[in-house]
Copies of this chain bind each other. A is one copy, B any other.
Amino acid sequence: MGRINKSTPELTRDAVSAAHELIKPHIHLTPVQTNTTLSILASTPQSAEALRGTQWEGQAPANPKMKLFFKCENFQRIGAFKVRGAFHAVKRLIEEQGLEEVQRTGVVTHSSGNHAQALALAARTFSIPAHIVMPTISTPSKIAGTQSQGAIVHFSGSTSQEREAVVAEVIEKTGATLVPPYDHPNVMIGQGTMALELQAQVEELVRHNPELSVYGGHKGKALNAVITPCGGGGMLSGNAIALRDTGVKVFGAEPSFQGGDDARRGVEAGARIETVKTLTIADGLRTPLGDWTWKIVSDSKYVAGLYSVTEQNIKDAMRLVLERMKCFVEPSAVVGLATILYNEDFRRMVEKEAGEEGWNIGVVFSGGNTTIEAITKIFAAVPGNEAERAEGTVGKDGGRVAENVAG
C-alpha cells in the first residue's frame, strides 16, 4: 500500500528546522516547566528500602545531580505531541501532490489514539478528508471524539492484519494516502521539532534564572540531555535527529511490563523486535519500533541509551506529576521521569557522566489524554502487585490484547 511521501527527506537537524517553520502556525509553543521538588528528588539517592526487591537490591544507590526541565506536550493541541508529525506529513503531502489533489483523495491511518485525532485535526485544517480505521471494540467516546473532529471512521478487527486490510480497502476506494503514526521520515522529523523548542526554551530559562541550573550545567551547555518515552519510536528518533552532533545526549524510556521494553531488548540483541503484546498502563507505548524508527533508535550516534521502568515506577511518577507538579498527564508521558527517579542504571550513568557539575535534563511529557475514570482504575490496583493488576485488566477487558496499537 502507498506510503507518504514519494520523496524521502534527509534525516537531519536542518530538515527538522524546515519542518518547524512549516508547522509553527499550526501548533502550540508548549511551555517548559521546572519543579524544585522533583529536581531535588532526582538528585537524592534512593533509599536501600526502595531498592529492595529490584535488580539493584543491596547495591549502594547512585547519587546523580540533575535539574529537570519538563517539555509539556500535554498542553499541545489535541493534548499530545502527535500534531507535530501529522501537520508536517500533511503539509509535505500538499507540497508534493497539490492541495486540490489531496483534498480529492484524502489521508488515512489506523490508530485509535492521539495520532488519529492529530491527523483528523491536520486534515480538517486544509479541508482534506481524513479516514480513520479503528477497531470495532474501541470505546464509544473515542469513536465519537474522532467523528466529532470531522473524520470518517472505518471499523476493523483488532489485529494489525485486520486493520491493515481495511486501510488497503480505503486506499483502493478513495486513493487516500497513508499517514502512519510513527514509521515515516516526515512524521519523525515533525515530532523532532519539539527538541528545537526545548533547547531554546531551556537556554532562555537558564539565562534569566541562573539558579535553575545550580550545578552549572555541563561543559557550559544549558541543556545536557533529553529523555523521551519510546513506543513506536517516532518522538524519540525525531529528537535524536534534531539533536545529533549538538552534544545533547538523547535517551529513550520504556515500560518493562510484559516485554514492553522491546526497543531496549532489540538493541541489546542487535535486531528489531517486531511484535509486542503488553497491557502496560503506558498504553501509548504498547507498540514495537518500525523499520524507519529502528534505524535511528538502534544507532548509538543518535540515541545514547534505552532504559525501562516498572508499572509501579510509572504510577509513582504519575502521582508526583499530578499531585506535586499539578500537571495532568497520561501514564505514557511520565516514563522518562520514572526512569530518572527510579532506574539505578540510568542514575548511575548520569552520576558517572555528569559528575559534580550535574546535568540539565529535558524531560518530555508526551501527552495528557486520559480521563478521571482511567486514573481511578490504574490507582485502584493493589500497589506493587502488578501481576494481579494486569490480570484484572485482562479479565475486565475480556482478554483483549492491545497489539501494535499506535498512540
- Whether the pair A323, B319 counts as a contact (CB closer than 8 A) is no
A380 at the interface (CB under 8 A from B): yes
Interface residue stretch chosen among A347-355, A368-376, A394-402: A368-376
**Residues on the B chain within 8 Å of A371, using CB:** 323
* A75 sits at the interface (CB 8 A): yes
Q: Does A114 contact B (CB under 8 A)?
A: no
Minimum C-beta distance from A69 to chain B (A): 16
Whole-angstrom distance between the alpha carbons of A75 and B326 in the complex? 7
- Distance of A370 Cα from B324 Cα, bound (Å): 9
A79 at the binding interface (Cβ < 8 Å): yes
Contacts A319-B372, A328-B328 aside, 18 further interface pairs with beta carbons under 8 A come to A31-B31, A75-B326, A79-B326, A322-B328, A322-B372, A323-B328, A323-B371, A326-B327, A326-B368, A327-B328, A372-B375, A372-B376, A372-B379, A373-B379, A375-B376, A376-B376, A376-B379, A376-B380
In the assembled complex, A74 has its CB within 8 A of some CB on chain B: yes
- On chain B, the residues within 8 Å of A376 by CB distance are 372, 375-376, 379-380
Main secondary structure of the interface of A (DSSP, over half): helix
Does A176 make an interface contact (CB < 8 A)? no
**A320-347 Cβ-contact flags toward B at 8 Å (1 or 0):** 0011011111000000000000000000
Are B329 and A329 within 8 A (Cβ)?
Answer: no
> Are B323 and A372 touching (Cβ within 8 A)?
yes
A368–B368 Cα distance when bound, in Å, is: 17
Question: Could you say which of A75, A323, A329, A379 has the most chain B C-beta atoms within 10 Å of its C-beta?
Answer: A323
| A371→B319 CA distance, assembly (Å) | 8
A363 CB to nearest chain B CB (Å):
16
* Minimal beta-carbon separation of A364 from chain B (angstroms): 14
Residues of B within 8 A of A372 (CB): 319, 322-323, 375-376, 379
What are 9 contact pairs spanning A and B, CB under 8 A?
A72-B326, A319-B372, A323-B370, A323-B372, A326-B368, A327-B327, A372-B376, A375-B376, A376-B380
Indicate which residue in B329, B373, B375, B380 contacts A326 across the interface (CB closer than 8 Å): B329
When distances are taken between beta carbons in the complex, the residues of chain B under 8 Å from A325 are 328
Residues of B within 8 A of A370 (CB): 323
Q: How many angstroms from the CA of A322 to the CA of B369 in the assembled complex? A: 10
A298-320 contact mask (Cβ, 8 Å, vs B): 1 or 0: 00000000000000000000010
